[in-house]
Amino acid sequence: MTNIDPENSREWAAQAYALLKKRQEEQKQELQKQEEQKQELQKQEKQKQELIDFANKENIPRQPKTLDEPELGEFDNNFTWSAMVLAAQGKKIDQISIDEIDWLTKLRRGLEETRKGFVTELLDKLGDDPLTPESLDDLETLLIRADVGIDSTDKVISSLRTKLNEEVVGGEAGIKFLKKELKLIIDKPIKNSGTDLLVPQKGKLNIWLLVGVNGVGKTTTLGKLAYLSSNSNYKTLIAAADTFRAAAVEQLKVWGDRSNVDVISNQSKNADPAAVVFDAINSAKKRNVDLLLVDTAGRLQTKNNLMDELAKIKKIIDKKVPDAIVESLLVLDASQGQNGLKQAKSFAKSADLSGAIITKLDGTSRGGVSLAVSEEVNLPIRFIGAGEGIKDLRPFNSYEFVEALLADK
């Protein structure tokens, strides 16, 4: 990671902006060409009436790739900040995409409420003065208020206190130190897991189970994951193992259609979720699927029968595909703050979890709960969601998260 000076990075951002603008123009022209070709093709197809049915059923070519990058916005603060975060991670100008800029802008905006809760107030209080024991007390209160959790807060404050005993710490240096400490907390379970970035392993069947209480965003997250995965050229399949809620299958099919991913379901009443997973595994094996995403019903961690159901799903997987790589991902709604943390703790006790996905970071002041999940539940955060759109989910990146959390404007 490089530290670049603000002047250079502004210039860097301006160059990146110009490049993206040019690329967008080229893509638009390409898209128009594809559209014209498509219309021509449709015209021809119309003339071949007898082939139409067949073509529609089996052989219809996939839609030409539409311009799925968002529009490039203004060259403003958001763009500059996002470009700087990418530059600091060693990205080259020609490696960045509008998608990444767009996501970082969303992330920063999403964390705005949380940030307002403590950083802005902290920076106001600190001004340019060095940190004092009193300002640490203020920081402590603000961190707790942002749902960072007692343990993480204690850790950060005592590190800062030690540093303060050794040297004078200016406001800016204090924030830099704080960022480093927060990042350490988030990175610990990720490092412990031995996997920095969760991606499906090629050549194996990867099965990701999404679990969590009602309404936290499991199905939406699964839809976004299906999009990410199929867009990254992993053969993807969805298992609709939420047989509890009547509309669940339909909801999943809509998501599946949006990313051309099939959904395996069983529409009969009271279908057994484990049986759906059984069918989905058969299908996945036949089709050489890389990633099978399993949607499950929302459940309270206290409901034993539902927790048993999860165990049953896992048993089926173990039996049918013992060499599959299974991830049990707990979906947590950030806006639930400490309540979400409690859920995570209970789930971690009764379900064998391997990671967490934090959703609804947009519009909550409780984004700090991500730190509590890392510190107190010891779960690596794998993805974060900040919006209801198909692209509003990205692999978790602790550097980007902490930068967005502590961005000063």
Ligand X SMILES: Nc1nc2c(ncn2[C@@H]2O[C@H](COP(=O)(O)OP(=O)(O)OP(=O)(O)O)[C@@H](O)[C@H]2O)c(=O)[nH]1
Q: Could you tell me the end-to-end alpha-carbon distance of the chain, in angstroms, rounded to an integer?
A: 22
Neighbours of 336 (CB within 10 A): 21
> CA–CA distance from 138 to each of 121, 181, 317, 378, 408 (Å)?
9, 17, 50, 27, 17
Closest residue to ligand X, judged by C-beta, is 298
Task: Pick the stretch among 79-87, 99-107, 226-234, 383-391 that binds ligand X (CB under 6 A).
Answer: 383-391
Subset of 273-302 contacting ligand X (CB under 6 A): 298
Note whether 216 binds ligand X by CB under 6 A: yes
Nearer to Mg ion, 136 or 222 (CB): 222
- Please tell me whether residue 215 binds ligand X under the rule CB under 6 A: yes
Structure tokens given for 153: 């807060």
Residue 109 interacts with ligand X (CB under 6 A): yes or no: no
Asked if residue 9 binds ligand X (CB under 6 A), the reply is no
Contact assessment for residue 12 and residue 93, using Cβ atoms and an 8 Å cutoff: yes
Q: Which does 362 bind (CB under 5 to 8 A by kind): ligand X, Mg ion, none?
A: ligand X
362 vs 403 by CB, closer to ligand X: 362
Are 4 and 80 in contact by the 8 Å Cβ rule? The answer is: no
Give, in order, the Cα–Cα distances in Å from 303 to each of 102, 299, 306, 309, 347.
Answer: 40, 7, 6, 10, 11
Beta bridge partner(s), residue 239? 264, 294
Count of beta carbons in the 10 Å neighbourhood of residue 18: 12
- CA–CA separation, 163 and 141 (whole Å): 19
User: Which has the closest alpha carbon to 15: 88, 75, 99, 74?
Assistant: 75
**Taking CB under 6 A as the rule, does residue 303 contact ligand X?**
no
The one of ligand X, Mg ion, none whose footprint includes residue 360, by CB under 5 to 8 A per kind, is: ligand X
The pattern of x and - marking residues 236 through 265 that bind ligand X according to CB under 6 A reads ------x--x--x-----------------
Stretch that binds ligand X, among 157-165, 183-191, 216-224, 342-350 (CB under 6 A): 216-224
Is residue 218 part of the contact set for ligand X (CB under 6 A)? yes
- Name residues whose C-beta falls within 8 Å of residue 116's C-beta, 6 or more positions apart in sequence: 365
Token pair for residue 128? 């340019």
Q: Which is nearer to ligand X, 21 or 245 (CB)?
A: 245
Over the window 32 to 61, marking each residue x when it contacts ligand X by CB under 6 A and - when it does not, the resulting string is: ------------------------------
Of residues 140 and 362, the one with the C-beta less far from ligand X: 362
Give residues in contact with ligand X (CB under 6 A): 212, 214-220, 242, 245, 248, 298, 359-360, 362, 385-388, 392
